[in-house]
Amino acid sequence: MSNLAPAAGPQPEHRSEAIAVAAERRWAIIVGIIIALLIAMMVVTGLHWAAMPPSRVETIDVKTLHLSGEFVENNLGTVLQPDGKVTARLVAQRYSFVPQCIVVPADMPVTFRATSTDAIHGFVVGTTNANTMLIPGFVATFTTTFRHTGEHLMPCHEYCGTGHEAMWSRVQVLPADEFLAKARGGERLSCVPR
Ligand code: CUA
């Protein structure tokens, strides 16, 4: 018997080719599944949003919002309404928020009302769930309660141009009694130093 006799089974080069083909096929199947999942996600979310439009849409005229109405400069800030509710109004523009420092009470529901004068902006208050997009022509509103006193950074979180990363405000959460003492008179509060 000779040592040069061919080994049983396929030649080594044939075996490695078969392994490579199997690996290719495995990856093709995995990638196919990923693509199918992504397409299914697009279809499902598209149908979901088409079937469930936003519950409320409030529009505002960008050209006049600084001249009259709710978002004129001296109406911005936080106010204690006659019915005891707290509303914080702000405007976003390239590249700042007005006011630059927002005061809110702790442990009381605060309703934010905000809009943008130019591009799409957005904000998030520190690590809280206060988070919205601001779209020119629309009023964004949500109500939240801050559980802890302290100060948060409130950065713009939608890319809005070259000054985006420098666009932020601060939010000061005061103890409710301290806030109420300041807000009793009904004036618009902010913590912008004057
Ligand atoms: Cu405003 Cu980014």
Residues with CB under 6 A from ligand 1: 92, 121, 156, 158-160, 164, 167
d(CA 26, CA 32): 10
pTM: 0.73
User: Smallest Cα–Cα separation from 186: which of 107, 82, 93, 88?
Assistant: 82
Q: State both tokens at 190.
A: 């902010």
C-beta atoms surrounding 47 within 10 Å: 10
Which residue has its alpha carbon closest to ligand 1 atom 1? Answer: 121
Closest atom of ligand 1 relative to the 120 alpha carbon: 1
Per-residue pLDDT of the chain (194 residues; tens, 9 = 90+): 445 555 555 677 788 999 999 999 999 999 999 999 999 999 999 998 888 877 788 999 999 988 989 999 999 999 999 888 999 999 999 999 999 999 999 999 999 999 999 999 999 999 999 999 999 999 999 999 999 999 999 999 999 999 999 999 999 999 999 999 999 888 899 998 86
Alpha-helix residue ranges (DSSP H) falling in the chain: 12-51, 176-183
Are 144 and 112 within 8 A, CB to CB?
A: yes
